[in-house]
């Protein structure tokens, strides 16, 4: 069964909602088969897939390329396309055009944008264009230059109040859910308890309506030189497993242990039987 926006909204207060990033066909297949509710094609792909230092340099075209790969997997999970930096900080017309591409060309089910009160008109415009919107409050990575880095948000009473008011506003505007990233557990809890749309937490404690992580973090696909945030749990060590497999492959081909006959083709009985003829043929070709 394909999960829809109303299906996700109705999960509030019934069970924990699962969300995971995916950026390509095989990972979308796996996330869907694991029965994760929502796939986020996050702009985190700028860092974990494209190797940029932050999320600011990924473009709509680049994001769209990955959204299409994900939706080609026909996942049962709801697919949310993350609007990249400068794709909705522009005119209403351009914002709708950019978001519309994710829905029309990318076949995503909804979009996600970062920010609270600053985004009031943008969210209204998207909803008027029939595009479901997931909000994103707290540590919003696209604001890293204004925030002075990736810092936990809402740590003072004043800042927590602003966050709470932004959450109420996103609900009032019609967002179907919102990500709460990098906020104290108690603030995420009070927001989750006082709004009627689902909150999806990352670095926001265990009392939000759902949880999300970045796939490459969870699978341990990044090398040790990355410094992961406190909230990252490595459920697997796939970087180390890949390294081991690649080194074994290199070693085996150098020793001519791979490919064995099991992994090779023969020429069929006729040619094997007349190997002498075949060798003569080669001489003719080379002469
Ligand atoms: O881009 C992303 O992966 C995100 C999640 C961390 C919520 O925005």
Residue 111 and residue 46 share a domain: yes
Rounded CA-CA distance 179/114 in Å is 9
273 to 212, 250, 263, 282, 284: CA distances (angstroms) = 61, 34, 21, 16, 19
Q: Name the nearest CA neighbour of 139 among 156, 119, 114, 110.
A: 114
Best residue among 18, 19, 21 to mutate for probing ligand 1's pocket (most ligand atoms within 8 Å of CB) is 21
pLDDT range class, residue 222, cuts 50, 70, 90: confident
Residue 197 and residue 269 share a domain: no
Residue nearest to atom 3 of ligand 1 (CA): 42
Question: Which residues have CB under 8 Å from 191's CB, separation 6+?
Answer: 163, 164, 167, 180, 199
> What does the DSSP 8-state code read for residue 67?
H
Residue 151 and residue 100 share a domain: yes
Look at residue 30 and tell me whether its pLDDT is greater than 90.
Answer: yes
Could you identify the residue written with the tokens 């680049």? Answer: 62
Rounded CA-CA distance 99/125 in Å is 11
Q: Name the nearest CA neighbour of 180 among 149, 144, 205.
A: 205
116 C-alpha to center of ligand 1: Å?
16
Domain of residue 85, CATH code: 3.20.20.60
Residue-wise pLDDT tens digits, 51-70: 999 999 999 999 999 999 99
pLDDT range class, residue 272, cuts 50, 70, 90: low
Kindly state the average pLDDT of the residues 155-164.
97
Single out the residue in 218, 236, 254 at which a domain terminates.
236
Q: Are 61 and 46 in contact (CB under 8 A)?
A: no
Counting from 1 in the atom list of ligand 1, the atom nearest the Cα of 19 is 7
Single out the residue in 202, 217, 236 at which a domain terminates.
236
Q: Please state the pTM of the whole predicted model.
A: 0.94
110 C-alpha to center of ligand 1: Å?
14
Rounded CA-CA distance 36/39 in Å is 7
Rounded CA-CA distance 45/25 in Å is 14
pLDDT range class, residue 265, cuts 50, 70, 90: confident
Of 82-96, 224-238, 251-265, least confident by mean pLDDT is: 224-238
Residue 259 and residue 179 share a domain: no
Strands (DSSP E) along 156-224, which ranges? 177-181, 199-202, 210-213
Q: What pLDDT is recorded for position 92?
A: 97
Catalytic residue numbers?
181
Look at residue 173 and tell me whether its pLDDT is greater than 70.
Answer: yes
Q: Name the nearest CA neighbour of 49 among 72, 73, 67, 29.
A: 67
Q: CB burial class (10 A; 0-12, 13-18, 19+) of residue 285?
A: exposed
Counting from 1 in the atom list of ligand 1, the atom nearest the Cα of 82 is 1
Kindly state the average pLDDT of the residues 220-227.
79
Look at residue 281 and tell me whether its pLDDT is greater than 70.
Answer: yes
Look at residue 268 and tell me whether its pLDDT is greater than 80.
Answer: no
Rounded CA-CA distance 83/77 in Å is 19
Strands (DSSP E) along 22-102, which ranges? 38-41, 78-82
Residue 132 and residue 70 share a domain: yes
Residue 201 and residue 66 share a domain: yes
Could you identify the residue written with the tokens 């940029």? Answer: 52
Residue 275 and residue 158 share a domain: no
**Number of structural domains in the chain:** 2
Residue nearest to atom 4 of ligand 1 (CA): 42
The residue segments making up the domain with residue 259 are 241-286
Residue 138 and residue 37 share a domain: yes
Counting from 1 in the atom list of ligand 1, the atom nearest the Cα of 213 is 6
Task: Check pocket membership of 21 for ligand 1, CB cut-off 6 A.
Answer: yes
Look at residue 267 and tell me whether its pLDDT is greater than 80.
Answer: no
Residue 39 and residue 174 share a domain: yes
Look at residue 15 and tell me whether its pLDDT is greater than 70.
Answer: yes
Single out the residue in 199, 216, 236 at which a domain terminates.
236
Quick one: CA dihedral 137, 85, 110, 206, positive or negative?
negative
Look at residue 271 and tell me whether its pLDDT is greater than 90.
Answer: no
Residue 205 and residue 106 share a domain: yes
């Amino acid at each position: 069964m394909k999960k829809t926006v109303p299906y996700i909204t109705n999960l509030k207060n019934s069970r924990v909602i699962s969300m995971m990033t995916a950026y390509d066909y095989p990972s979308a297949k796996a996330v869907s088969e694991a029965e994760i509710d929502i796939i986020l094609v996050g702009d985190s792909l700028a860092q974990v897939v494209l190797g940029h230092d932050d999320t600011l340099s990924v473009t709509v075209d680049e994001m769209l390329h990955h959204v299409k790969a994900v939706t080609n997997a026909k996942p049962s999970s709801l697919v949310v396309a993350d609007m990249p930096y400068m794709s909705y900080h522009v005119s209403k017309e351009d914002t709708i055009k950019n978001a519309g591409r994710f829905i029309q060309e990318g076949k995503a089910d909804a979009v996600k944008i970062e920010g609270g009160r600053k985004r009031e008109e943008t969210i209204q415009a998207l909803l008027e264009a029939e595009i479901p919107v997931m909000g994103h409050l707290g540590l919003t990575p696209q604001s890293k230059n204004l925030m002075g880095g990736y810092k936990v948000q809402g740590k003072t009473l004043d800042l927590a109040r602003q966050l709470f008011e932004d959450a109420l506003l996103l609900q009032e505007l019609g967002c179907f859910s919102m990500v709460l990233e990098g906020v104290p557990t108690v603030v995420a809890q009070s927001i989750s308890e006082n709004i009627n749309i689902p909150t999806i937490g990352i670095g926001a404690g265990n009392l939000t309506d759902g949880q999300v992580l970045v796939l490459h973090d969870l699978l341990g696909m990044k090398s040790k030189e990355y410094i992961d945030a406190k909230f990252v749990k490595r459920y697997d060590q796939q970087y180390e497993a890949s390294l081991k497999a690649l080194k074994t492959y290199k070693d085996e081909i150098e020793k001519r242990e791979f490919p064995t006959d099991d992994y090779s083709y023969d020429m069929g009985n006729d040619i094997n039987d007349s190997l002498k003829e075949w060798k003569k043929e080669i001489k003719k070709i080379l002469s």
